[in-house]
Amino acid sequence: MKLNRLDLLAFGPFTNRSLVFGGTGHGLHVVYGPNEAGKSSALRALRQLLYGIDHKSGDGFLHPYEKMRVGALLEHSDGRTLECVRRKGRSNTLLDPEEDTPLDEGVLHNFLGGVDQDGFQKMFGIDHADLVRGGREILAGKGDIGRILFSAGAGISNLQSVQETLEKQVQELFKPSGKKPVINTALARIKEVQAEMRSLQLSAGKWAGHDRELRKTMKRREEVAARLREAQRQAGLLERILEGLPAATVRREILGRLDALRDAPLLADDFSARRQKTASDLRVAEHTVTRVGQALDSVRERLNACEVPETVLAEEARITGLYQTYGMIRKADEDRKVRVGQLGAARRGAEAILRDLGHDPGTTDPDSLHLPRTERIRLKELMDEDGELRIEVRQNEATLAELGEQRRVLELEQSALKPPRGIAGLKQTLERVMKLGDLEERCSELRLSITREQELAHAAMLRAGRWKGGLEELEAVSFPEPERIDIFAERLQADRAELDRAGERERDLRQRLDGVADQIQRLAGEEDVPVEGDLRVIRESRTLGWKMIRAAWLEGRLAGEEVLRYADGCGSDPGALAAAYEQVVEECDRIADRMRTRADVVARKSALLQERESLERQHRESEVGIREQEERLKRTGQEWTGLWAEHGLVPDSPREMSAWVRKMEQVQAQLTGIRERRGELDLVEDRAGRAGQELRDRLEELAEPVPPGGPGAVADHCRAVVEESENLAAAAARVDRDLVRIAGEERQAGAAKQELAARRSAWQASWAPLVRRLGLDESAGPSLVQAVLEQLDELGKRVLEQKDFQVRIDGIDRDARTFEAELDELLGRVLPRVLGESIETRVAELHGELVRARAVRERSRALEKELSDLAGQLDAARTETVRLRGTWSELCREAGCSERDDLIRVENLAARRRHEENQLQVREEQLLGLSGGLDLQEFTGMIFVEDADTLEPRLEALQSEIRTLHEEASELDQRIGTERTELARMDGRSRAAELADESQSLLGRLERDMEEYVQLRFSAIVLKRAIERYRDRNQGPLVQRASELFSRMTLGNFSGLRVQYAEKDPVLVGLRADSRDTIPVEGMSEGTADQLYLGFRLAGLEQYLEHNEPVPFVVDDLLITFDDDRSRASLQALAELAARTQVIFFTHHAHLVDLARESVDPDVLRCQEI
């Protein structure tokens, strides 16, 4: 096959671009494409043309996937040609370009001689990277001839690494005697898991064993418990008896002692204590009476010795008051000294100020200098006003300057503005056009919708089928109305139903007839069933016979002929007649009898015969009815077909036709819609045209340039013109407005200036008289006036202070005089001896006298209080003595005695009786505690019955048994626990089952690994065998041809190649041209190895092409690292290959094109550029 033309219809950057590879013979086609020209895309296009466009193609950037197309004209070696186009898709992607119908891939496959995509890329494609890889493989393979032949023959450049990888993967998966590889590890792990699983599996026997042991142990445990209870009971009784024995004995003795004390009285528990307390209290009370009487006498004596000074105590309050006032008098005297100093200082301060203001302090009254309050306020106001006036004047001057500046700026701006234009007309037109909306958009929407609707209608029409005409014809057609179709449907249905009914009826009648015939048949078959007719005939025969017998008997007349006939030829004598008659009578009776006995059958048979007759008649009628009905149906059918004839249609059933007509009517409705839209489109287009024209006219009126484009663009431009013009007008108006405003403000500022000057002169008029009042010149400013005022204030303050100090000093002197007068008056009455002493002595003496009088009064009061207390105590002690003597008599009465000593003896007897009784109670309580529910008498009885000496040994024996039983019980409990734990561990757990799952999981994984191992091993073996076989078959001729090519491509550096048989496998070596030396492959340079590989590739191809359909050899920039000479030699080798198949050489190196032109026969070489 060769490629005559490659059509890059829509692929990568190409659109409808063709590369032509024509000419006679195959040719070496050099396709030159500089970078970015699409060389690689063209290469891909060629491959994908032949084998399908990639599912995720990167060449759909310009043309969407569904539009991608690449085509070609191919020519088979037998002269056939194939023109085809490949589209992108999943199936049926190879198309006939004429018909646009799918082509059989098999045809293309045949053109390719069965080469699949892989083979095409590997064997019939080579690029620089392949070459380099191939060369390296040869170097690495150290001349392994098998591999070289195989990889060059198939165009595989990684054969060695494929083999090595396979071997490595195999080793990683499994080694027969290894431990680490995946499969070996997995096998070991599975064994482990299964072993663990088995160890966890619980056997049935083990469970039952534990179960049995548990039951046995529990039974024994119950027995032990019972015996233990009994032994403990016995031991307990013995223990109690042993413990109760001493108490029982003591009790017996106490009872004896109590018997002797039975006469002693039972005194109350506290009797003895009461008796002792009463005796002691009585002694204490009698002693108290004596002691208190003596103390009373002593106090009375001391009271009489006391004398209280009443005169002094009568003036107690006044003396205390004077003593306190004296403290204050002393303090005021101190204060007075300070005030005198302050008074002098104030006077000196006032004199200094007066001098400062220029007055003589000796002559000037400071009060004459005082300024009234109203005038001071007025002065202050004028000073404030002066400040305000100054500020306002400054502000007024600034305002005037600012306004002047603003006016100058605005005047400049005004002179720079452009004059406005008249745009009212344009604006009006534009607004009208805008109201119409976006007409262009509407047009394109309408066009799109018309096209879509039309496609839809067309598709709907095609889907509905049946209609042979086009859409335009369809629109005009009117099909039969649905009502008519319905009528036909009903008629046809009614006719058919009627026919069915008639048929049904006919079948029914036939069945009934068959039934009746069948019944008649059955009756006949059963036995002879006579009917009325049979009886009538035989009776007539009987009457005839009787007539003849009667004639012969009564008339003696025998009608010979008739008799003979009657007797059925048996004779004409009376005997024959009688016999015949007799037979007839018998038959007559038999029939009559039979009719009587089988009356029901007879009746049924008659009825059946009648029914058959009737049914046969009905059946004939129904057959006629069917034929008529068939005829009617046929006529209706013809009418139905006729209804459609005018449209050239052959109708199906009315239901289908009705559905079809509905679909058609929908299509017609769509068509009507389309027509309406077309009308609308015309209208809108017209409107748009006119709007555009109007706008253009307006622009011309304004001498504006008219922009190119549709009404939309024109409208946009108009909007810009209007906007600009409006902005200009607005600016001018703003400037005018501002100028007017500034003129007004300047006027206001001038007026304010004049008003300020007036206010200043008024102020001066008020200011001058006031300043003169202060003794200042009228030109004095506010600051000077302020200083003078402050001095005058200070002078006023000093004068006031002098007055205050004088008042205070006078007050202190008055108080001292008053105090001394009062003191002397009192002393005259109370203590005249100190009058005339210093005031300190007078005051101190008077106070000392009062203190002494107070002390005497206190002592006297204390003694009176003591006297009253002692008298109370004496009364109480006497009362207590009387009470205690009464109590004592009461105690004697209780003990039943009169004497004091006897009372103590009786008291002792009673105490002994009580003691014994208490002891008895203790023992009895002890015994009751041990009795175990028996009463005291029974229990002591049991104790005294027992032999005390045998008790202890018996108890010991029992206790020993109890200990043994306890030990056994504990052991049994432990065993029960163990067994229960064992059984609890066998709880139906699922661990073993989980391990079984795990084992299965590992097996699943293992199976997969093992499959992979087999696959990899098989692959390695098959590949190795294939390499060996290929080498055996092809070594001779291939090495020879490669040797020639290699020699030429190395420009004679090597004379050729040879296979050397070393120890193991045969090895390829190079032969030096200048010597007979052999060079091992691994000794060659990389470039030489590349050429060696290329030599084998070409040799392999040539060999293949000897026997197979040629396929173009596609070379992609192969020679970029070759020098010019070697490139020439290689191009020549490719040209030689071109004798056998087409060679397509893609390059983006222009110099390779030149080299090809130099070195290759022009008949073979064809160059073109992308």
Binding to another protein (CB under 8 A): which residues in 1103-1162? 1103-1104, 1107-1108
The burial class, CB within 10 Å (0-12 / 13-18 / 19+), for 667 is: buried
Q: How far is the CB of 88 from another protein (least distance, A)?
A: 11
Classify residue 144 by its DSSP letter: B
Q: Nearer Cβ to another protein, position 147 or 798?
A: 147
CA–CA dist 175, 187 (Å, integer): 12
Where in 1024-1053 is the site for another protein (CB under 8 A)? 1025-1027, 1029-1030, 1033
Tell me the one-letter amino acid at 817.
R
Tell me if 960 contacts another protein by CB under 8 A.
Answer: no
Where in 304-323 is the site for another protein (CB under 8 A)? none
Q: Nearer Cβ to another protein, position 948 or 993?
A: 993
> Rounded to 5 degrees, what are φ and ψ at 840?
-60, -50
Q: Is 25 left (phi over 0), alpha (psi -120 to 50) or beta?
A: left
- Member of 124, 488, 805, 1013 binding another protein (CB under 8 A): 1013
CA–CA dist 255, 249 (Å, integer): 10
CA–CA dist 300, 866 (Å, integer): 9
- Member of 266, 669, 871, 1022 binding another protein (CB under 8 A): 1022
Q: Nearer Cβ to another protein, position 812 or 1010?
A: 1010
Q: How far is the CB of 95 from another protein (least distance, A)?
A: 16
Of 121, 112, 94, which is closest to residue 3 (Cα–Cα)?
112
Tell me if 1001 contacts another protein by CB under 8 A.
Answer: yes
Where in 665-684 is the site for another protein (CB under 8 A)? none
Q: Nearer Cβ to another protein, position 163 or 396?
A: 163
- Member of 109, 380, 677, 878 binding another protein (CB under 8 A): 109
Q: Which helix (H) or strand (E) holds 885?
A: helix 839-895
Q: How far is the CB of 150 from another protein (least distance, A)?
A: 4
CA–CA dist 1111, 1117 (Å, integer): 19
- What is the distance between the terminal CA atoms of the chain, rounded to a whole angstrom? 23
Q: Nearer Cβ to another protein, position 155 or 651?
A: 155
SS3 1079: strand
Q: How far is the CB of 1118 from another protein (least distance, A)?
A: 17
Q: Nearer Cβ to another protein, position 130 or 495?
A: 130
| Tokens encoding 281 | 């209290």
SS3 379: helix
SS3 1166: strand
| Tokens encoding 924 | 């009895």
- Member of 925, 994, 1082, 1161 binding another protein (CB under 8 A): 994
Q: How far is the CB of 975 from another protein (least distance, A)?
A: 22
- Member of 730, 768, 856, 986 binding another protein (CB under 8 A): 986
Q: Nearer Cβ to another protein, position 793 or 1028?
A: 1028
Q: Nearer Cβ to another protein, position 688 or 1027?
A: 1027
SS3 29: strand
| Tokens encoding 759 | 């206010």
Of 1168, 1093, 1169, 1101, which is closest to residue 1141 (Cα–Cα)?
1101
Q: Nearer Cβ to another protein, position 176 or 327?
A: 176
Q: How far is the CB of 998 from another protein (least distance, A)?
A: 8
CA–CA dist 1104, 1109 (Å, integer): 9
Q: How far is the CB of 999 from another protein (least distance, A)?
A: 7
> Rounded to 5 degrees, what are φ and ψ at 38?
100, 25
**β-sheet bridge partners, residue 1146:** 31, 1116
- Member of 273, 456, 462, 1014 binding another protein (CB under 8 A): 1014
**β-sheet bridge partners, residue 15:** 10
Helix axes 145-154, 991-1049, angle to 10 degrees: 90
Q: How far is the CB of 54 from another protein (least distance, A)?
A: 8
Tell me if 1005 contacts another protein by CB under 8 A.
Answer: yes
> Rounded to 5 degrees, what are φ and ψ at 372?
-60, 155
CA–CA dist 1080, 810 (Å, integer): 149
Binding mask 24-53 for another protein (x = CB under 8 A): ----------------------------x-
- Member of 997, 1077, 1125, 1158 binding another protein (CB under 8 A): 997
Binding mask 48-67 for another protein (x = CB under 8 A): ----x--x------------
Where in 88-107 is the site for another protein (CB under 8 A)? 90-91, 105-106
Q: Nearer Cβ to another protein, position 132 or 706?
A: 132
Where in 112-151 is the site for another protein (CB under 8 A)? 113-116, 118-119, 122-123, 133, 149-151
**b/e 866-899 (16+ beta carbons within 10 angstroms → b):** eeeebeebbeebeeeeeebeeebeebbeebebee
Q: How far is the CB of 132 from another protein (least distance, A)?
A: 11
- Member of 720, 743, 1021, 1150 binding another protein (CB under 8 A): 1021
Question: Cα 291 to the chain's mean position, in Å?
Answer: 107
Binding mask 1077-1106 for another protein (x = CB under 8 A): -----------------------x--xx--
Q: Nearer Cβ to another protein, position 169 or 618?
A: 169
Tell me if 156 contacts another protein by CB under 8 A.
Answer: yes
Tell me if 487 contacts another protein by CB under 8 A.
Answer: no
Q: Nearer Cβ to another protein, position 144 or 315?
A: 144
Q: Nearer Cβ to another protein, position 746 or 998?
A: 998
Torsion of CA 731, 732, 736, 741, to 10 degrees: 0
| Tokens encoding 712 | 């939309």
Which residues, 6 or more positions from 196, have their beta carbon under 8 angstroms from its beta carbon?
A: 995
- Member of 546, 553, 763, 1018 binding another protein (CB under 8 A): 1018
Q: How far is the CB of 114 from another protein (least distance, A)?
A: 4
| Strand extents, DSSP E, 965-1031 | none
Number of residues that bind another protein (CB under 8 A): 92
| Tokens encoding 441 | 């958009």
- Member of 383, 770, 1010, 1079 binding another protein (CB under 8 A): 1010
| Tokens encoding 482 | 């649905």
Q: Nearer Cβ to another protein, position 988 or 1162?
A: 988
Where in 198-227 is the site for another protein (CB under 8 A)? 198, 200-208
Where in 159-188 is the site for another protein (CB under 8 A)? 159, 161-162, 164-166, 174, 176, 183-184, 187
Q: Nearer Cβ to another protein, position 488 or 1013?
A: 1013
Q: Nearer Cβ to another protein, position 21 or 111?
A: 111
Tell me the one-letter amino acid at 1164.
V
CA–CA dist 307, 298 (Å, integer): 18
| Tokens encoding 1017 | 């091993």
Q: Which residue has the tokens 């049924």?
A: 604
Q: Nearer Cβ to another protein, position 199 or 478?
A: 199
**β-sheet bridge partners, residue 1147:** 32
Q: How far is the CB of 119 from another protein (least distance, A)?
A: 6
The piece of 267-275, 569-577, 782-790, 997-1005 that touches another protein (CB under 8 A) is 997-1005
- Member of 471, 834, 1003, 1051 binding another protein (CB under 8 A): 1003
CA–CA dist 116, 933 (Å, integer): 115
Q: Nearer Cβ to another protein, position 137 or 907?
A: 137
Query: Is the distance from CB of 1100 to CB of 1113 less than 8 angstroms?
Result: no
